[in-house]
Amino acid sequence: MPRTTDLTRSRDAPTTYAEAGLGRMIGAFCIDAMIMLGSPVALLLVLARTLGGGLATVAALIAWPLLALAYGAICGYGRTIGGLVTGTRRLLLPSGRAPGPWRMAWDCLKIYVFGVILILLIMLAEGSGNPVPDGTDPSDASNRTTIKDRVRTVRVRGR
pLDDT of residue 155: 44
Is position 149 within any domain? no
- Dump pLDDT digits (tens) for 24-54: 888 988 999 999 989 999 999 998 888 888 8
Asked, for residue 48, whether it belongs to a domain, the answer is: yes
Q: Is residue 113 part of a domain?
A: yes
Distance CA 43, CA 55 (A): 12
Reported as a single tens digit per residue, the pLDDT across 96-141 is 777 889 989 998 999 999 998 998 898 888 766 555 555 555 555 5
Q: Could you tell me if residue 145 is inside a domain?
A: no
State the residue range of the domain holding 48: 4-132
Q: Rounded to whole angstroms, how far apart are CA atoms 125 and 95? A: 41
Q: Examine residue 156 and state whether it is found in any structural domain, yes or no.
A: no
- What is the number of domains present in the chain? 1
Sequence-distant (6+) residues with CB within 8 A of 6 are 14, 15, 16
Give pLDDT tens digits for 77-103: 878 898 889 888 887 766 777 788 998
138 falls within a domain? no
pTM passes above 0.75: no
What's the pLDDT score for residue 138? 56
Distance from C-alpha of 10 to C-alpha of 148, rounded to nearest angstrom = 61
